[in-house]
Amino acid sequence: MVEDGKLYDVLWTPDFTEDLFEAVAYITEELGSPMAAWALFDGVCELLDSQRAMPTSATTKAGKDGSTRYIVTYKNWDIYYIIEGDAIKVIGLKHHLQAGGRGVLPSEKR
């Protein structure tokens, strides 16, 4: 059972780490805006840190495996996580304009 008010650890999965660093690289290299890229990185980190005390305050969606997925938004980016034990396990990052629409992780598309 999730206990709001308790501080949960934040664990980045390899998929989330790859998503975030690809976004930072794209904004830096393709769009030529390293300041915006690092602002994205810092903003995502701060948002995830703020979820530690109340991880269930996010929007929820059922995953294909029946698990509860949590979605928080930073600007035009959705951040997906699940809660496992004492940890928020961050599983993905997706821009609102990416194929599949909001709420669908790339790994969930058919």
Q: Give the burial class of 88: count Cβ atoms within 10 A of its Cβ; 0-12 exposed, 13-18 middle, 19 or more buried.
A: buried
Q: What is the pTM of this model?
A: 0.85
Q: pLDDT for 66-107, tens place per residue?
A: 889 999 999 999 999 999 999 999 999 999 887 565 555 656
CATH class of 9-97: alpha beta
Distances, alpha carbon 42 to alpha carbons 30, 39, 52, 54, 61, in Å: 19, 5, 16, 20, 25
Mean pLDDT (whole number) for 26-30: 95
Which residue type does 60 have?
A: T
